[in-house]
Amino acid sequence: MGRIGLLHTHHGAVETPLFLPVVSPTRQIVKPREMKERLKCKAVMTNAYLLLKRWFPKSVSQDLHQRVDFDAVIMTDSGAYQLLEYGRVHTDAEEIARFQEDIGSDIAVVLDVPTGDVDREQAAETVNKTLANSRKALEVVSHSRTLWVGPVQGGSHIDLVEYSARESSKMGFDIHALGSPTVLMERYLFPPLVDMICAAKMNLPVERPLHLFGAGHPMMFSLAVALGCDMFDSAAYSLYAKNDRYMTASGTIKLTDIRDFPCFCRVCSHILPKELKDLKPELRERMLAMHNLHVCFEEINRIKQAIFEGRLWELVELRARSHPSLFRGFARAVRNANCTEMFEKNTPVSKRRGIFLFDNISLNRPEVRAYMRRLRKNYSPPRGKSLLLLLPSIWRDAEAQKIKSSSRIGVLIGKKSTHVCYYGPPFGLVPAELVGVFPLSQSLSALGTTAYIDKVVEVVLDYLGVHKNYSTVIFLWPDDKAWRALAEACASAVRKRFHGVSVSVRKASSQRFPDDMRGK
């Protein structure tokens, strides 16, 4: 679901996926202007409720961009975080909406009621209050300059998330945002977070960007983007720095545990870990915050490049192995029926580069799943073919020419009744005439033959169950024990399932064809 988009605001267009550092109206360890100049930051987020109560209690004559000292895109939150933390805010949906528009917010969030970790009855109440606030806010704003964000609530109650998303999508919002993920992320509960994102994305207009509130750590950015999130905000870069925590793209390290910096940003390339530890707390916090910001922006750029190359899945697989809980979230995504439906529907049918397949979880890639589905539903073998000759998939490329040049195999292949297919990892079964179709020849696989036996058997049985024109099936295996085990497992399964089909298993190579295959 990852995509590169262009979001047009009053202060210019910004590219998504977009990371917005949260800047405090009261304490800025790294100035927004400095973020723009040193890190090419295009957008930041700040808290409109704190601005209303502390800086602009009587007048809104001052411009937000002047106050924050940032002449690019500013997104403002409505105070929902204070509502989650303290249980109440001293404003209402209409007042905070007018205020955000008056001070010139480029992107503004209506006053939502965060769900948090509550029972279903309380969760339903937060959803209904958020929807009511959304309607009230949209009635009092002009929509002339500000892009309005419609929050989706419901927490871990997936049916409520779906309902909230459907109702919110009927309103005139420009962007939607998934609320209440912070509690899950803080506790590393990534599987339910995956379900929440998927439920929201399935029920929102695809042309509207999806913002993920509080997506704090770069190690989960790629998974969120693959699930369809376009924007993120977080203050984690600063909060981590305050506690001497050093971000990397695959986790967080305590400063006291660092011997050598695994980074070469402006901070890490100009100071040693020991020197950073000895700095005064405020300066050390500032330098760590700068490094943490660098890691976040670098990961966003890495994700964009992966999308451009068609390699986002590989990046997600890599990042998922950063932490067991994150891997469980990734595994949930590839097994969630709604997620896999979205993945397959939105993944391009061809890409700039081939795909890499590492293990069984790679077989859930949308490209692989789409091939399996299309083989079953869209493919028809050539007419008049009654003999299915199954060659090992390792013979598809250079070996294929040697096979055809072998007189005995060539004779068999040359028969009008013979249909040649290749069996084995990673695609199970590939008709010879489809070998050049993406991604069949545009892939590199590390899948072992033995570990993949059950899947190959499943695909072969499914193929023969759909196409009943074959009276004879011949499995050839090279001089390799693993391939022999695979061929015999497939043949045994075919014999049990299809009693009227003659099945043979023979050892063969591109250079020699068994004598007892003559005349078959």
Positions annotated as catalytic residues are 77
Of the candidates 233, 229, 222, the residue with the CA atom closest to the CA atom of residue 303: 222
Contact 487, 505 (CB under 8 A): yes
Which DSSP helix (H) or strand (E) runs through 254?
A: strand 251-254
What does the radius of gyration of the chain's CA atoms come to, in whole angstroms? 29
**Dihedral (CA of 212, 218, 219, 225) sign:** positive
Distance from the Cα of residue 79 to its chain's centroid: 29
Per DSSP (E only), the strands in 264-330 are none
Structure tokens at 351: 């890409």
Distance from the Cα of residue 264 to its chain's centroid: 27
Helix (H, G, I), strand (E, B) or coil at 74: strand
How far is Cα 244 from Cα 254, in angstroms, rounded to an integer? 6
Strands 43-47 and 73-77, how do they pair? Answer: parallel
How far is Cα 491 from Cα 258, in angstroms, rounded to an integer? 56
How far is Cα 416 from Cα 434, in angstroms, rounded to an integer? 18
Structure tokens at 478: 């090279």
Helix (H, G, I), strand (E, B) or coil at 363: helix
- Torsion angle (degrees, nearest 10) of CA 426, 430, 434, 439: -10
**Dihedral (CA of 397, 398, 404, 408) sign:** negative
How far is Cα 98 from Cα 446, in angstroms, rounded to an integer? 57
Q: Give the residue carrying structure tokens 């948090």.
A: 116
